[in-house]
């Protein structure tokens, strides 16, 4: 019984990790006033880049950083459209969600002889397990923490760092000020465009990390169905967490827990269709969005393009 609980908790952490990375990307972008529903596309290009670099270099850390860089490029595209040109942020995000998978499949066919999925990374070249060997293989802590990939710990550290930056530093105050009232921030000498560019680019970096957490840790390659809505679940987690790092973390753990329970139940013969079990995280997403989105308030200027000449 204890081993089963530890296994569910460990699986929860594993499946929550990509969501945590991506949700933190949504938190920093939307706190600056830029809606980023393109997280899904940024995750896809990050997953592809991580798997490709990981396969050819055999170094998971270079692959992980490369995935973040690929996500940053897409974040830059979103920032150019929304911050510089004042484009509709939802439409730009939708375009990113089409561009990411399309480019990933196109490049996959180029690098892997026409295949739509990358070749598998050698298991020894996946992300390392830093606590492997610290705990006995029959212990609770081994199933819970000892057998987890490095991405789990990086994601948890990122949540704390982002919380600290947003609420304990001058930069964080500026990010939140720009997201609440950009005109007032501008009159105080804060460069609204620079802050929003920085925030959206970093949202792409974090989403790229989220994709890499899938292709370098949970599995060992990229395939077209790998991300399958994780970016949208992370977006829902950010909203459910009220645009705060700590709240988004708890929501991601909730969604990850649903996935963990699904995996656990799938190991036993409950005579329940695997398709029905796989629906649980997505149904949970819809239920939470219907039940809680109306009660959550985004930053006041979220989704509103800023124009220095326009008075708000």
Percentage of the chain surpassing pLDDT 90? 72
For residues 217 and 195, give the distance between their C-alpha atoms in angstroms, rounded to a whole number: 32
- Per-residue pLDDT averaged across 210-226, rounded? 95
For residues 178 and 80, give the distance between their C-alpha atoms in angstroms, rounded to a whole number: 17
For 130-148, the pLDDT digits (tens) are: 988 778 777 778 778 888 9
CA nearest neighbour of 238 among 250, 227, 229, 228: 250
3-state secondary structure of 194: helix
For residues 163 and 169, give the distance between their C-alpha atoms in angstroms, rounded to a whole number: 10
Enumerate domains of the chain plus CATH numbers: 2-295 (1.10.3470)
For 62-115, the pLDDT digits (tens) are: 999 999 999 999 999 999 999 999 999 999 999 999 999 999 999 999 999 999
- Per-residue pLDDT averaged across 187-211, rounded? 97
Q: What is the pLDDT of residue 268?
A: 62
Among the listed ranges 4-18, 73-87, 134-148, 285-299, which one has the minimum average pLDDT value? 285-299
- Per-residue pLDDT averaged across 157-177, rounded? 97
Task: Evaluate if residue 169 carries a pLDDT over 80.
Answer: yes
Q: What is the pLDDT of residue 311?
A: 52
- Per-residue pLDDT averaged across 4-26, rounded? 91
pTM: 0.93
Q: What is the pLDDT of residue 4?
A: 75
Query: CB–CB of 116/60 below 8 Å?
Result: no
For residues 61 and 63, give the distance between their C-alpha atoms in angstroms, rounded to a whole number: 5
Query: What pLDDT band is residue 2 in, cutting at 50, 70 and 90?
Result: low
Q: What is the pLDDT of residue 32?
A: 97
**124 vs 195, which has greater pLDDT?**
195
Task: Evaluate if residue 270 carries a pLDDT over 70.
Answer: no
Q: What is the pLDDT of residue 271?
A: 59
Among the listed ranges 10-14, 30-34, 47-51, 152-156, which one has the minimum average pLDDT value? 10-14
Q: What is the mean pLDDT of the chain?
A: 90
Query: What pLDDT band is residue 312 in, cutting at 50, 70 and 90?
Result: very low
Q: What is the CA radius of gyration of the chain?
A: 20
Helix pair angle (230-240, 39-57), 10° resolution: 130
CA nearest neighbour of 238 among 162, 172, 170, 142: 162
């Amino acid at each position: 019984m204890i081993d089963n609980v530890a296994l569910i908790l460990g699986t929860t952490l594993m499946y929550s990790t990509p969501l945590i990375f991506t949700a933190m990307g949504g938190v920093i972008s939307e706190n600056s006033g830029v809606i980023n529903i393109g997280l899904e596309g940024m995750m896809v290009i990050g997953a592809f880049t991580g798997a490709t670099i990981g396969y050819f270099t055999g170094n998971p850390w270079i692959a992980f950083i490369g995935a973040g860089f690929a996500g940053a490029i897409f974040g830059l595209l979103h920032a150019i459209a929304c911050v510089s040109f004042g484009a509709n942020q939802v439409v730009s995000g939708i375009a990113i969600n089409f561009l990411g998978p399309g480019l990933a499949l196109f490049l996959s066919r180029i690098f892997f002889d026409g295949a739509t999925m990358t070749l598998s990374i050698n298991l020894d070249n996946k992300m390392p397990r830093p606590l492997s060997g610290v705990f006995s293989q029959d212990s609770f802590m081994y199933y819970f923490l000892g057998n987890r990939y490095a991405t789990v710990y990086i994601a948890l550290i990122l949540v704390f760092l982002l919380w600290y930056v947003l609420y304990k530093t001058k930069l964080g105050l500026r990010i939140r000020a720009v997201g609440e009232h950009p005109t007032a921030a501008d009159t105080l000498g804060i460069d609204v465009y620079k802050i929003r560019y920085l925030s959206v680019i970093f949202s792409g970096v974090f989403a790229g990390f989220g994709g890499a957490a899938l292709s370098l840790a949970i599995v060992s390659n990229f395939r077209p169905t790998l991300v399958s809505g994780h970016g949208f679940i992370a977006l829902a987690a950010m909203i459910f967490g009220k645009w705060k790092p700590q709240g988004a973390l708890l929501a991601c753990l909730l969604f990850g827990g649903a996935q963990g329970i699904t995996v656990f139940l799938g190991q036993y013969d409950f005579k329940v269709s695997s398709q029905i079990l796989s629906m649980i995280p997505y149904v949970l997403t819809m239920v939470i969005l219907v039940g809680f989105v109306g009660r959550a308030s985004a930053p006041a200027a979220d989704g509103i393009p800023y124009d220095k000449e326009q008075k708000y």
